[in-house]
Amino acid sequence: IMDKHPKNSQNEFDAQPFELEKNKGEKEHEQVNIPKTITSREVFNPAVFSGQQDLYYNMDNPRRGVALIFNHTEIDKQPRRDGTKYDRDRIVKVLKYLYFEPRVYEDLSRSQIMNILDNFVEQNHTDDDCLVIVVMTHGDRDTLYAKDQAYPVDDLLGKVTGDKCPTLAGKPKLIFIQACRGGNFDIGVKLASIASAQADSGISYRIPITADILVMYSTVPGYVSYRSPVEGSWFIQSLCIELEENAQFYDLLEILQLTANRVAVFYEASKNDDNKNNTVIVKQMPLIESTLTHFLHFGKSNKFLKCLNK
């Protein structure tokens, strides 16, 4: 059964205006947290199958991998994010179902988040299939809130590039962000109708350091992202539903498109129109940004198939 919030349902959103605070001695933040002249790193790519299957990421390493979950309920000088515990609990359950090792961190400061990421990428992840990072917090266009201050999204993305974590090079890094990206409201539009080369195994080659990263935002730049205090956010709940129902059948990008469709079509809320004495219906549109170079299919892994056949 598809979820649809009634027009009078109460929802909150994860947007707060703020300015970035810089640490002492910190240089001015550049727009993109990678070198201006992008280099590549020579790696042996253990992440792909050989033969005709090399279009898919290898999901049969000894370990699925770690899922780092940064959940924020209490943020300094910001509204409490009621309902985020429902997102946390459900995403943990789904990630365990997909054989990940969830590690949950609550209300961390900016420096604590960066230290955890630094320590993680320094470890050996040769035996891992991939990495998942989930961030649930307040935000703005290109920034996220830690407990004590805001930080650019690029600070997060820059930690997992191939040069920073060589043992995850060639493997998918999946990042899911539940946060507002501005203060605009999407009032939607009514539709009348809707029309219905192979590489040899074992060789070394070069890949871009920014390859194999996928980021899915709960909303597009400039717009708010909704969260129910009693059910959780539209985006995380939809993502969990689609992963639970379709991980064994579809490639990840197809699952994420189903997630975007679920949020866009089956969720809505109402708000007072500032210019008129009435209410308007508001919507939400998630966004996928991907440099994945292979298909990612959880259902093709032997560990997942064995579980289903039990």
Q: Which are the catalytic amino acids?
A: 138, 180
Q: 66-71 and 101-106 as β-strands: parallel, antiparallel, unpaired?
A: parallel
Beta-strand runs (E) in the chain: 12-13, 40-44, 66-71, 101-106, 131-136, 139-140, 143-145, 150-152, 173-178, 204-208, 213-217, 226-228, 232-233, 269-272, 279-282, 287-290
Beta-strand runs (E) in 114-197: 131-136, 139-140, 143-145, 150-152, 173-178
Dist. CA 149–CA 145, nearest whole Å: 6
- Phi and psi at residue 117, to the nearest 5°: -65, -40
* Residue 176 tokens, joined: 């899911």
Q: Which residues pair with 139 in a beta bridge?
A: 15, 144
Strand (E) or helix (H) holding 240: helix 234-246
CA 120 to centroid of chain Cα atoms = 18
- Residue keyed to tokens 């189903």: 258
- Cβ proximity of 69 and 91 under 8 Å: yes
Half-sphere exposure of 115 (CA within 13 A, CB side): 7
Q: What are the angstrom distances between the C-alpha of 149 and each of 16, 74, 98, 300?
A: 12, 12, 33, 41
